[in-house]
């Protein structure tokens, strides 16, 4: 009897040892197109609560104008559901996030639902786990043009929204950045504008426990035509400090992430620090926004970093686009590839570990990137589908080294 129990115990131990040392699940890489009727573009992607991913983008609606589209896909890129949101005018989406209640919320702009037709208002749509609308709200007035570009959930269940607004009742209207806080039902709790005498716009934000960190683009501050702009506020939107990053020409931000040490890593583009024309540009700061380093990536033509994600090894994956450049004797580009998707992996010092150009003879651009559970990268963006400039949503899964 003792021998029986001893043998059974060994079997149980071996079972647990095998489970603990089993390799990560291997999934096939892919390069897929979603939509592609006329003008489908993927703008943002988030991990789904129940597995897979949810993509937010834009598509041509039944009226012929642009609608927001939401897509749920599984780990292999197979579509589980797809819905469009919009009316007779133009709707745009910039970001989707997963919410604490198991649903999702998006932010963008709308011409259809605002107080004045053909004038943009900030547009927020809340959906459940199955992509069905729970509520929709526009924010704006008849004397302004505004669009929301970023959203994050706050500790109390509400949401912080940022973007840009032009007050048309001003004598010399220029764009300003804005933040406003809403509760879980979409009611505005407070709102503030930020900026100077020229154009300024908020692009992305991060909610901390006791503060908000915001990045945007500014003409009012900095050294050049446009500079990247970062500032910190308290939980009521009162500014605590601000910084700018750039040189004598134009630098702009598209996305940023919080780093393991509490600092920030910013992705965008630079003319000042480019090798030849326009380069993808990464800026690393400490927790107080002080610049630690900056790096440019790209070739002899146009390159831009549109999305960034922090990776499990403490580095970053950056996605965007690169123009394939093959010059003739006069310096004219003879390449037939056009714009390829650019994927770059860097460590926390900004040192490039590898770089991939993914594409072909039609334009392909990456907009957002996530690292999957097994270390692969999932990228969403756009792909040209015809000579008539029709586009589909580009969905790419690479392995951990950026290969398909």
pLDDT at residue 65 greater than cutoff 80 = yes
DSSP string, 262-311: S-EEEEEEESTT-SSSBEEEEEEE-TT--EEEEEEE--SSBEEEEEEEE-
Question: What is the mean predicted confidence (pLDDT) over 123-128?
Answer: 98
pLDDT at residue 242 greater than cutoff 90 = yes
User: Distance between CA 189 and CA 182 in Å, rounded?
Assistant: 5
Average pLDDT, the chain: 91
Residues 6+ apart with CB under 8 A from 275: 296, 298, 299, 300
- 19-26: long-range contacts (C-beta < 8 A, 24 or more apart)? 24/373, 24/374, 24/375, 25/373, 25/374, 26/374
pLDDT at residue 11 greater than cutoff 60 = no
Question: What is the mean predicted confidence (pLDDT) over 322-332?
Answer: 80
pLDDT at residue 176 greater than cutoff 90 = yes
pLDDT at residue 310 greater than cutoff 80 = yes
User: Distance between CA 134 and CA 128 in Å, rounded?
Assistant: 7
Question: What is the mean predicted confidence (pLDDT) over 342-354?
Answer: 97
Closest by CA to 205, choosing from 194, 197, 219, 189, is: 194
Question: What is the mean predicted confidence (pLDDT) over 79-108?
Answer: 96
pLDDT at residue 122 greater than cutoff 80 = yes
Residue 377 pLDDT level (bands cut at 50, 70, 90): very high
Question: What is the mean predicted confidence (pLDDT) over 367-389?
Answer: 92
User: Distance between CA 323 and CA 305 in Å, rounded?
Assistant: 12
Question: What is the mean predicted confidence (pLDDT) over 355-367?
Answer: 91
Question: What is the mean predicted confidence (pLDDT) over 150-170?
Answer: 96
Q: Please tell me what DSSP assigns to residue 8.
A: H
So what's the pLDDT on residue 117? 66
So what's the pLDDT on residue 314? 96
So what's the pLDDT on residue 26? 65
Residue 25 pLDDT level (bands cut at 50, 70, 90): low
Question: What is the mean predicted confidence (pLDDT) over 360-384?
Answer: 94
Residues 113, 75 contacting (CB under 8 angstroms): no
Burial of 189 (0-12, 13-18, 19+ CB in 10 A): middle
pLDDT in tens, 295-306: 999 888 899 999
Instruction: Tally Cβ neighbours within 10 Å of residue 256.
Output: 24
So what's the pLDDT on residue 301? 85
Backbone dihedral angles phi then psi of residue 10, each to the nearest 5 degrees: -60, -40
Largest CA distance in the chain: 94
Residue 241 pLDDT level (bands cut at 50, 70, 90): very high
Question: What is the mean predicted confidence (pLDDT) over 137-148?
Answer: 94
So what's the pLDDT on residue 83? 96
Residue 24 pLDDT level (bands cut at 50, 70, 90): low
So what's the pLDDT on residue 13? 39
Residues 379, 365 contacting (CB under 8 angstroms): no
So what's the pLDDT on residue 60? 85
> How far is C-alpha 391 from the geometric centre of its chain's CA atoms?
19
- Please state the length of the chain: 404
Greater model confidence, 3 or 245: 245
Of 126-130, 314-318, 327-331, give the lowest mean pLDDT range.
Answer: 327-331
pLDDT in tens, 195-233: 999 999 999 999 999 999 999 999 999 998 999 999 999
Greater model confidence, 23 or 50: 50
So what's the pLDDT on residue 170? 86
pLDDT at residue 316 greater than cutoff 60 = yes
Greater model confidence, 63 or 35: 35
Greater model confidence, 317 or 8: 317
Closest by CA to 123, choosing from 175, 67, 64, 166, is: 67
CA distances from 135 to 90, 124, 130, 312 (A): 19, 8, 14, 35
Residues 32, 396 contacting (CB under 8 angstroms): yes
Question: What is the mean predicted confidence (pLDDT) over 99-126?
Answer: 91
């Amino acid at each position: 009897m003792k021998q029986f129990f001893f043998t059974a115990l060994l079997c149980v131990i071996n079972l647990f040892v095998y489970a603990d040392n089993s390799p990560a699940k291997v999934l096939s890489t892919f390069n897929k197109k979603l939509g592609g009727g006329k003008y489908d573009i993927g703008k943002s992607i988030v991990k789904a609560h129940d597995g897979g991913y949810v993509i937010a983008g834009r598509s041509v609606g039944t009226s012929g104008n642009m609608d927001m589209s939401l897509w749920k896909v599984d780990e292999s890129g197979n579509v589980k559901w797809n819905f469009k949101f919009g009316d007779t005018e133009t709707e745009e989406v910039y970001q989707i996030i997963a919410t604490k209640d198991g649903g999702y919320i998006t932010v963008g702009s709308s011409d259809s639902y605002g107080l004045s037709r053909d004038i943009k208002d900030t547009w927020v749509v809340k959906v459940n786990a199955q992509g069905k609308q729970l509520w929709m709200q526009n924010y704006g007035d008849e004397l302004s043009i505004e669009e929301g570009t970023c959203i994050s959930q706050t500790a109390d269940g509400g949401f912080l929204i940022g973007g840009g607004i032009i007050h048309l009742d001003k004598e010399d209207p220029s764009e300003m950045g804005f933040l406003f806080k809403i509760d879980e039902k979409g009611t505005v709790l407070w709102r503030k504008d930020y900026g100077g005498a020229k154009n300024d716009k908020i692009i992305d934000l991060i909610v901390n426990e006791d503060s908000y960190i915001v990045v945007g683009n500014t003409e009012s501050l900095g050294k050049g035509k446009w500079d990247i702009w970062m500032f910190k506020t308290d939980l009521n939107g009162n500014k605590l400090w601000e910084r700018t990053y750039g040189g004598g020409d134009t630098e702009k931000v598209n996305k940023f992430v919080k780093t393991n040490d509490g600092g920030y890593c910013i992705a965008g583009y630079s003319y000042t620090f480019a090798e030849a024309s326009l380069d993808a540009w990464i800026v690393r700061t400490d927790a107080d926004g002080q610049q630690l380093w900056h790096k440019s990536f790209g070739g002899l033509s146009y390159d831009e970093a549109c999305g960034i994600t922090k990776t499990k090894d403490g580095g970053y994956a950056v996605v965007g686009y690169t123009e394939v450049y093959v010059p003739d004797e006069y310096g004219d580009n003879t390449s037939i590839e056009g714009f390829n998707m650019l994927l770059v992996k860097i460590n926390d010092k900004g040192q490039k570990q590898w770089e991939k150009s993914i594409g072909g003879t039609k334009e392909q651009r990456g907009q957002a990137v996530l690292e999957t559970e097994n270390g692969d990268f999932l990228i969403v963006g756009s792909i040209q589908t015809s000579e008539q400039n029709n586009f589909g949503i580009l969905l790419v899964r690479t392995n951990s080294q950026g290969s398909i």
